């Protein structure tokens, strides 16, 4: 195998490849390369292909490595939130709120009940948005573009709801350490009522296009399968692991932000193939709607942020009239938040699995070390094992069903 | 659900099994069991925890490195293994001190295939060498990069750029 | 170019017969041919053409291509293509029969059945030899 | 004698039932309304670019219905997202293999100047590697901003002379980026 990966030579065949007689034709080297319609992101797979069957795959990642962890060591705690939502940018609120919870766990901040419910609503909306994009892209890769166009309209409605809460659409920087910067506006209430009323019906329409569709089932059942033990050994988490049959979900396993108050179940597949991943994500969208309904119906009254003046920016009129508020305002803006020294690992259930933050702080302005446990980066290693022996078109569908997001892959 | 084991139970079992290889215990804010261990014993320890009948610590959550430039000689780099037993909902951390001039430790890709890229990333960013790792190469950075960027002495910004005047950026 | 007598007689006949109603047909064909040939000839002239070594090497998803793409691919593809052409041409022979099969009564049917029989044996031979087998 | 009007901002002499205009203008209008984009979408701006392709903002209204992932049939290279130093040669290769005439739309702060990622691994702006025609600010820019960038590109395409790609200025531009070309031959 050539040393420099950017040069592919198909002259020498890897040792473990049995040689083919000439009637069968030589082994071809195919490049599922950096710019490719099938790789919804920027990563490279050098495939050894015999006819249509994939024999082996060699991966190169790191094409958009942006040094998140080094950047995080240079920024005060509340300025790291904009970085976290560029990790998995399809569901950035989950990353933001996960990061805020990590700092609250380190600083020992108790968040009022209303904030926990608001956070659950926002995170479940983000999970719906993430699964929508993944499942409609599986549709695109099996040739049905309509699903994508339909479901993007729904995603735009979720964007509108984000805008009501935080003003941004995709990279949301939602919430603050200790709560939210503003309560749910009336616009948000209308939009979420309208969303909860009309989205399930449209979603079932989208689902009816794929779930019992003969072509889709033939294209995805038994494709890119992985067994439960191999999935666990490869560090799978999230929908891909649940599709393989292991019901590990951080929201149930280690409930955070009062997830234990809501009643929902965790869908689990059997075969671990692309069809199971698709169905697990579809079912998770339905469960997320259930959670949002429960959380929205009994949203408790109370403040929308914890009373932690050291972390939470005071109101503008207080800043102009009160001395302490001015001092707090100045200290927070300059990044002097009183974060104690310590070490904490906190994980949330992201769109792709257990999204973990390992934060070590030495009491200074910025974290001493912040490491993101990025689920995509860990489970994408299993890709060669899942596609060896399958045909090329199955390799493409398997890649999009694993929902590998380039930003999270090479942070 | 609550985890079935307390930290002390697991710590005592480890202490009893590996004796002086367990260096010290550290309590952290999230009070997960955090144990400093000898680097050359780390592989057996993880193997032992993996096959342990009750603990069943069979899930590798994370491998990462930390650089403490002002630690004393031979303890500048710390390698952290995050392990997790899904059945018992029990998390623990194994930490090993490594010296910066030859940070070498045995790979655990034979136990967890998830460790393959995690170790390559730790090698890429910190320079920790994992013995008999199947394919120890840089994974995130270009192969032509000659230093390990996450070490504290290196700058965040790319030093070859001219168009950003340091005076205006407080540097 | 030697123009044979017969050819001259045809042109003479055309001219003498009421040629006016042929003018639209001729005009139409000129416009159609003109458009097709025109776009094919003038479009490349309008667009700029630059070439360089890197630009002319084949496209490999963004990295430099290495080794050549011309190597003996698996024979299955060729086999399937040729068999398709063969049976497709066979279908064309049904058209004349299908048009006037009433007129051709029974013996016509027998002839076509014989014809189909030949192809059927060929098809069975192909199946037995496993030429259409895709996954080994 | 007809009246010179700038109807739909292209200059033509209008008569009853037909118009007279320059060949450049006709070709320019035709090109600007049938640009085939190559979406070089790497990160968050790529998702916002997908949003601008989706029904709500729909760049198909501007004739950009067909995405071409091969540079051979692409006229417009849309670079949306962060370009790291590891990706720079790939971007340059894609740009060089595009068919002339080609334009580059650089979407987002990361592609224009490295954005918030002023780090050791990110290329601080793609104009270090390839010439860029239009920059769209924003991190990520809203779909309306991307469409504004596209309309600016269309204005460029509409008023570009047919000889520009053989002009010495264009040759100098390519030489600055040491992109191989054989313009002096033409």
pLDDT tens across C63-119, in order? 887 777 777 777 788 888 999 999 999 999 888 888 888 888 888 899 999 999 999
Least Cα distance to A394 among A208, A138, A212 occurs for A138
Please give the interface size between A and D, counted as residue pairs whose CB atoms are below 8 Å apart: 89
Which residue, among C82, C72, C73, C88, has the nearest Cα to C132 in the 3D structure? C82
On whether residue A27 sits in a domain, the answer given is: no
C67 touches chain D (CB under 8 A): no
**Is residue D1's pLDDT more than 60?**
no
Please report whether residue D186 resides in a domain: no
Q: Which of D56, D69, D117 sits opposite A71 (nearest CB)?
A: D117
Domain boundaries, chain C: 7-45, 75-129
Please tell me the pTM assigned to this model. 0.88
The alpha-carbon gap from B15 to the nearest alpha carbon of chain A, in Å, equals 23
Q: What is the pLDDT of residues A322-344, one digit of tens each?
A: 999 999 999 999 988 889 999 99
CATH number of the domain that D138 lies in? 3.40.50.12280
Residue A263 lies in a domain: yes
SS3 of A391, please?
A: strand
Nearest to D86 among B142, B154, B158 (CB): B142
Q: Do chains A and D touch (3 or more CB pairs under 8 A)?
A: yes
Residue C131 burial class via C-beta count within 10 angstroms: exposed 0-12, middle 13-18, buried 19 and up:
middle
What pLDDT is stored for residue C57 in this prediction?
84
Q: Is pLDDT at A9 greater than 60 in this prediction?
A: no
Cα-Cα-Cα-Cα torsion B28, B33, B37, B41, nearest 10 degrees, comes to: -150
Q: Which of C63, C67, C75 sits opposite A10 (nearest CB)?
A: C67
- Residues C93, C107: Cα–Cα separation, whole Å: 17
Q: Which of A367, A340, A370, A368 is nearest to A105 (CA)?
A: A340
Q: Beta strand B59-67 with B77-85: parallel, antiparallel or unpaired?
A: antiparallel
| Closest CB from D44, D56, D90 relative to A35 | D90
Q: Which residues of D touch C57 (CB under 8 A)?
A: 97
Chain A: give the shortest CA distance to residue B142, in Å.
Answer: 8
R_g over Cα of chain A: 23
pLDDT at A6 over 70: no
CB–CB of A356 and B89 under 8 A? Answer: no
Q: Give dist(CA A127, CA A131) in Å, integer.
A: 6
Question: What is the pLDDT, as a whole number, of residue C8?
Answer: 80
C49 touches chain D (CB under 8 A): yes
**Is the Cβ pair D97, C54 closer than 8 Å?**
yes
Three-state secondary-structure class, residue B123: helix
CB nearest D84 (choices: A66, A156, A169): A66
More confident residue, C13 or B131: B131
Residue given tokens 């790792």 in the structure block? B133
Is the pLDDT confidence value at A17 over 60? no
pLDDT in tens, A118-157: 999 999 999 999 999 999 999 999 989 899 999 999 999 9
Biggest CA-to-CA distance, chain C: 69
Q: Is some CB atom of chain D closer than 8 A to the CB atom of C46? A: yes
User: D148 and D58, same structural domain?
Assistant: yes
Are D83 and D154 in a shared domain? yes
Q: Are residues D63 and D109 in the same domain?
A: yes
pLDDT in tens, A347-371: 999 999 999 999 999 998 999 999 9
Domain ranges of chain B: 7-169
CA pair distance A355, A107, nearest whole angstrom: 20
Residues D23 and D108 in one domain: no
D155 Cβ contact list (under 8 Å, min separation 6): D32
Quote the pLDDT of residue A235: 93
- Residues in C touching D126 (Cβ below 8 Å): none
Whether D116 and D159 share a structural domain: yes
CB-based contact (8 Å) between D128 and chain B?
no
pLDDT category at A1 given cuts 50, 70, 90 is very low
Residues D79 and D152 in one domain: yes
CA distance A304 to chain B (A): 25
Phi and psi of A184, rounded to 5°? -65, 125
Question: What radius of gyration do chain B's Cα atoms show?
Answer: 18
pLDDT at D111 over 90: yes
What pLDDT was estimated at residue B171? 63
For A118, residues 6+ apart whose C-beta sits below 8 A from its C-beta are A180, A184, A299, A304
At B46-71, the pLDDT tens digits run 999 999 988 889 999 999 999 999 98
The pLDDT score that the predictor gives to residue C123 is 93
Q: Would residue D185 count as lying in a domain? A: no
Distance, in Å, from the CA atom of B65 to the CA atom of A4, rounded to the nearest integer, reads 27
Residues from chain A that touch C57, judged by Cβ atoms under 8 A, are none
Burial string for B130-165 (b: 16+ CB within 10 Å, else e) reads: beebeebebbbbebeeeebbbbeeeeebbeeeeeee
Note the pLDDT tens digit of each residue in D55-67.
Answer: 999 999 999 988 8
Residues of D in contact with B140 (CB under 8 A): 121
What average pLDDT does range A70-91 have in this prediction?
92
CATH number of the domain within which A177 lies: 1.10.645.10
Number of domains making up chain D: 2
A269-304 tens-digit pLDDT: 998 999 999 999 999 999 999 999 999 999 999 999
Q: Kindly state the average pLDDT of the residues D72-87.
A: 93
Query: How many domains does chain A fold into?
Result: 1
Q: Tokens 């901002």 belong to which residue?
A: D9
Contact yes or no for D40 and A407 at CB 8 A: no
Query: Based on the domain organization, do D59 and D11 belong to the same domain?
Result: no
B7-169 has CATH 3.40.630.30 classification: no
CB contact under 8 A, C60 and A32: no
* Domain containing residue D10: 1-32
pLDDT digits (tens, 9 = 90+) for A83-120: 998 999 999 999 999 999 999 999 999 999 999 999 99
Under the banding of pLDDT at 50, 70 and 90, the label for residue A19 is: very low
List A354's β-bridge partners, or say none.
Answer: A349
Q: A268: which 2 tokens?
A: 């689990």
Q: Do D93 and C46 touch (CB under 8 A)?
A: no
């Amino acid at each position: 195998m050539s040393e420099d990966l950017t040069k592919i030579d198909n002259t020498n065949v890897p040792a473990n490849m049995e040689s083919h007689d000439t009637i069968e034709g030589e082994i071809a080297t195919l490049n599922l390369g950096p710019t490719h319609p099938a790789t919804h992101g920027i990563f490279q797979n050098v495939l050894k292909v015999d006819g249509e069957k994939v024999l082996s795959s060699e991966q190169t990642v790191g094409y958009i490595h942006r040094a998140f962890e080094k950047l995080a060591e240079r920024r005060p705690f509340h300025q790291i939130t904009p970085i976290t939502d560029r990790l998995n940018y399809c569901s950035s609120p989950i990353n933001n709120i996960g990061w805020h919870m990590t700092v609250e766990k380190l600083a020992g901040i108790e968040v009022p009940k209303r904030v926990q419910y608001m956070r659950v609503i926002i995170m479940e909306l983000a999970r719906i948005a993430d699964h929508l994009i993944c499942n409609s892209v599986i549709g695109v890769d099996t040739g049905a573009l309509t699903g994508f166009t339909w479901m993007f309209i729904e995603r735009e409605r979720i964007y509108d709801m984000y805008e009501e809460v935080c003003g941004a659409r995709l990279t949301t920087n939602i919430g603050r350490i200790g709560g939210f910067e503003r309560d749910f506006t009336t616009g948000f209430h209308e939009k979420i009522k309208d969303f909860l009323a009309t989205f399930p019906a449209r979603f079932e329409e989208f689902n009816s296009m794929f779930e019992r569709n003969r072509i889709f089932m033939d294209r995805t059942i038994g494709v890119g399968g992985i067994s439960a033990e191999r999935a666990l050994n490869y560090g799978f988490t999230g929908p891909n692991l649940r599709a393989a049959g292991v019901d590990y979900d951080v929201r149930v396993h280690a409930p955070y932000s009062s997830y234990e108050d809501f009643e929902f179940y965790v869908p689990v597949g059997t075969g671990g193939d692309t069809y199971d991943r698709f169905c697990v994500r579809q079912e998770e969208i339905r469960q997320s709607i259930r959670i949002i309904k429960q959380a929205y119906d009994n949203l408790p009254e109370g403040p929308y942020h914890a009373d932690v003046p050291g972390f939470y920016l005071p109101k503008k009129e207080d800043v102009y009239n009160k001395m302490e508020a001015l001092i707090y305002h100045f200290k927070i803006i300059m990044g002097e938040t009183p974060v104690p020294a310590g070490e904490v690992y906190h994980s949330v259930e992201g769109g792709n699995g257990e999204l973990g933050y390992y934060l070590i702080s030495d009491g200074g302005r910025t974290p001493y070390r912040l490491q993101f446990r990025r689920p995509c980066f860990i489970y994408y290693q299993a890709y060669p094992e899942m596609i060896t022996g399958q045909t090329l078109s199955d390799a493409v569908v398997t890649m999009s069903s694993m929902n590998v997001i380039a930003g999270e892959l090479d942070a | 659900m609550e985890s079935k084991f307390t930290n002390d139970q697991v710590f005592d079992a480890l202490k009893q099994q590996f004796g002086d290889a367990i260096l010290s215990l550290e309590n952290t804010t999230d009070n997960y069991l955090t144990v400093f261990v000898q680097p050359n014993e780390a592989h057996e320890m993880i193997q032992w925890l993996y096959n342990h009948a009750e603990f069943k610590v069979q899930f590798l959550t994370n491998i990462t490195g930390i650089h403490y430039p002002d630690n004393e000689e031979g303890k500048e780099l710390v390698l952290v293994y995050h392990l997790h037993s899904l059945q018992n909902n029990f998390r623990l951390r194994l930490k090993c001190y490594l010296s910066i001039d030859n940070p070498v430790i045995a790979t655990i890709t034979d136990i967890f295939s998830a460790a393959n890229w995690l170790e390559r990333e730790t090698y890429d960013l910190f320079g920790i060498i994992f013995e008999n790792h199947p394919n120890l190469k840089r994974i995130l950075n270009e192969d032509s990069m000659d230093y390990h960027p996450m070490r504290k002495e290196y700058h965040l910004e790319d030093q070859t750029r001219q168009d950003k005047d340091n005076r205006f950026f407080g540097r | 170019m030697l123009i044979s007598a017969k050819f001259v007689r045809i042109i003479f006949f055309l001219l003498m017969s009421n040629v006016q109603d042929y003018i639209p047909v001729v005009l139409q064909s000129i416009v159609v041919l003109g458009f097709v040939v025109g776009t094919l000839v003038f479009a490349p002239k309008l667009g700029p053409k630059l070439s360089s070594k890197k630009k002319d090497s084949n496209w490999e998803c963004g990295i430099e291509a290495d080794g050549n793409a011309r190597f003996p691919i698996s024979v299955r593809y060729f086999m399937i293509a040729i068999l398709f052409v063969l049976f497709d041409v066979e279908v064309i022979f049904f058209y004349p029969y299908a048009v006037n099969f009433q007129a051709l009564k029974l013996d016509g049917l027998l002839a076509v059945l014989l014809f189909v029989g030949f192809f059927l044996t060929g098809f069975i031979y192909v199946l037995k030899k496993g030429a259409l087998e895709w996954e080994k | 004698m007809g009246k010179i009007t700038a109807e739909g901002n292209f200059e033509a002499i209008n008569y009853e039932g037909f118009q007279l205009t320059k060949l450049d203008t006709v070709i320019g209008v035709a090109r600007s309304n049938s640009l085939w984009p190559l979406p070089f979408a790497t990160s968050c701006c790529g998702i916002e670019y997908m949003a601008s392709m989706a029904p709500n903002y729909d760049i198909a209204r501007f004739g950009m219905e067909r995405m071409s992932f091969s540079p051979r049939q692409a006229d417009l290279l849309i670079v949306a997202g962060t370009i790291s130093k590891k990706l720079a040669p790939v971007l340059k290769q894609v740009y060089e293999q595009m068919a002339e005439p080609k334009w580059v739309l650089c979407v987002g702060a990361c592609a224009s100047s490295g954005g918030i990622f002023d780090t050791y691994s990110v290329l601080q702006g793609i104009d270090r590697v390839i010439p860029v025609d239009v920059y769209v600010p924003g991190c990520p820019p809203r779909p309306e901003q991307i469409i504004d960038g596209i309309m600016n590109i269309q204005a460029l395409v509409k008023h570009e002379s047919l000889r520009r790609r053989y002009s010495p200025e264009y040759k100098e531009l390519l030489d600055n980026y040491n992109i191989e070309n054989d313009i002096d031959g033409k």
